[in-house]
Structure 1
């Protein structure tokens, strides 16, 4: 890993800026074409946890419920003989039990109303916009230089874009849990960007490459530690607690977001800042 850090910080920082930029563009294109599914807590619906009475695949469970209820959308997550099923619209529990009593035992059954309306989603978008603006103002106030401010904002946008594009790619729905994970991701990403910017612009010990290498070692160690904990959480939930969909969604989003943070901070933001300082910026 030391050789990789040395290559990033001392040998080829300018071309590497393009890597997260290209990934961001591809993520936005994929998101624009295929869109992002909304979770049941956003659009409303019914969540059912079932115990299977006979061996069935996810497709079998989905098709059985879809044909029995005439539901337009049914999603199934299967672990062993336990299935977690999301059904669009309200479903009567007594009717469900009557239709499928020979195939399933109901472990839990709840109807969920839409918690976040379109207006609320608009407010979240405004909150994110203001967060980015105030982050830029704060960074500009601290460093008195517009380039680090713009670099941090661009890095955060890149990080968020790749994470949301990955959600679309892997079928992770936009839900209350995933929105919370994205907000956590913004905060974590800005922390690593501030670490990098402070080391390069405020410190005077050593030359620029040495400060960049030190910041990179510290930041990558922190991110890999957080990434490892999220991977462990995802595996534990997937294997032992398959009904804990909220934890699975949060850990999956954070795994993808932390990987994108490594790219956006240590390839793009580092490259921009070094390029800026080599051209005489922040004197």
Structure 2
């Protein structure tokens, strides 16, 4: 561990800058080729929570609903005797009850139309856009230096790109919940970047490498603590409350984003700042 810290903070930083950039490019390429699944909040559809009248597996429930309704896009999440069924498209509740009255008791039934889903997507775009605008303005106002400000924004873009690319890779849908996780990730990533930038640019005690090492130890400790909490949440939800899909999606997105934040902050951002200061920047 000591050798890794010394290499990151005291050795050549230029090769390390490329690692997060390459990951970001690969994530964007994968996203461009395979796209991103949309949750029911965005693409519209029907979400039904049912109580099983007889023991059934997730596959049996999915096949039963597909055959009964004549649709193909059906997903099922099962926990004990309760199942959450997601169906693409509008489904009539009365018809659903009549078709599956012998298999299910309906606990809740919710339909999301195309109009609502389009409005949700618009709100997501505005939320992410304003998050970046206010973040960029705040960072530039605090440091009054273009290079550190651009480095922080680039790091946030890298975090977001890798997280969204990972969502595409692992089949996590874009939903209101996952967007909330992405916004939290932007905020957390900027926190660690500002920690690093403040230690390097504002403080004068010790050498540049000493300040970088001090910032790294603090920032990595914070990130590992957050990672541990999200991993525990993901495992608990996966094993004990699999119907809590929202918590599973949020924890999965944050786990991938926090790992990306470690690379973008301590490889790329630190490398850019060291290069900037070695060239006489922010004197």
- TM-score, normalisation: structure 2: 0.91
Partner SS state of residue 19, structure 2: helix
Cα deviations across residues 6-31 of structure 1 (Å, max 9, x unaligned)?
A: 22111242211111111111111111
Which whole-Å CA distance do the structure 2 matches of 1:115 and 1:249 have between them?
24
Do 1:185 and 1:254's aligned partners in 2 also have CA atoms closer than 8 Å?
yes
Asked whether the 8 Å contact 1:40–1:114 carries over to 2, the reply is: no
Residues 49 and 82, structure 1, Cα contact 8 Å, conserved in 2? yes
Aligned counterparts, 1:1-283, within 5 A: 1-53=1-53, 56-113=56-113, 117-118=117-118, 121-283=121-283
SS in 2 for 1:172: coil
Gaps of 5+ in 1: none
Higher alpha-carbon deviation: 28-37 or 62-71:
62-71
Distance 1:111 1:224, change over 3 A: same
Paired residues, number: 283
Q: Distance in 2 between matches of 1:104 and 1:30?
A: 39
Q: Match of 1:85, SS?
A: strand
CA distance in 1, matches of 2:127, 2:177: 17
Q: CA separation in 2, counterparts of 1:246 and 1:15? A: 38
Whether contact under 8 Å (1:79, 1:239) holds in the other structure is no
- CA deviation map 1:68-113 (0-9, x unaligned): 1012421122345543210012223332233233434434333234
Rate the CA distance shift 1:134–1:111 in 2: closer, same or farther, 3 A: closer
* Alpha-carbon contact 1:37-1:168 (below 8 Å) kept: yes
* Conserved? CA contact 2:37–2:172, under 8 Å: yes
Q: How far, CA to CA, are the matches of 2:165 and 2:39 in structure 1?
A: 16
Residues 42 and 115, structure 1, Cα contact 8 Å, conserved in 2: no
Q: Decide whether aligned partners of structure 1 residues 267 and 177 sit closer, same or farther in structure 2, where only a CA change above 3 A counts.
A: same
Displacement of 1:56 after TM fit? Answer: 4.3
Q: Hey, what's the Cα distance between the residues in 1 that align with 2:130 and 2:46?
A: 34
In structure 2, C-alpha distance between the alignment counterparts of 1:224 and 1:116, rounded to whole Å: 38
> Once the 2 structures are TM-superposed, how far is the Cα of residue 114 of structure 1 from its aligned partner?
5.3
* Structure 2 portions without partners, runs of 5+: none
Moved more, 211-220 or 127-136: 127-136
Decide whether the 8 Å contact of 1:148 with 1:273 is kept in 2: yes
CA drift of 1:128 comes to 2.7
Measure the CA separation in 2 of the matches of 1:94 and 1:9. 64
Q: 1:70 to 1:19 in 2, by over 3 A?
A: same
Alpha-carbon distance in 1 for matches of 2:235, 2:276: 42
Q: Distance in 2 between matches of 1:161 and 1:248?
A: 20
Moved more, 114-123 or 56-65: 114-123
Task: Name the stretch that deviates more: 157-166 or 10-19.
Answer: 10-19
Tell me the TM-score normalized by structure 1.
0.91
Task: After TM superposition, give the deviation of residue 117 of structure 1 in Å.
Answer: 4.2
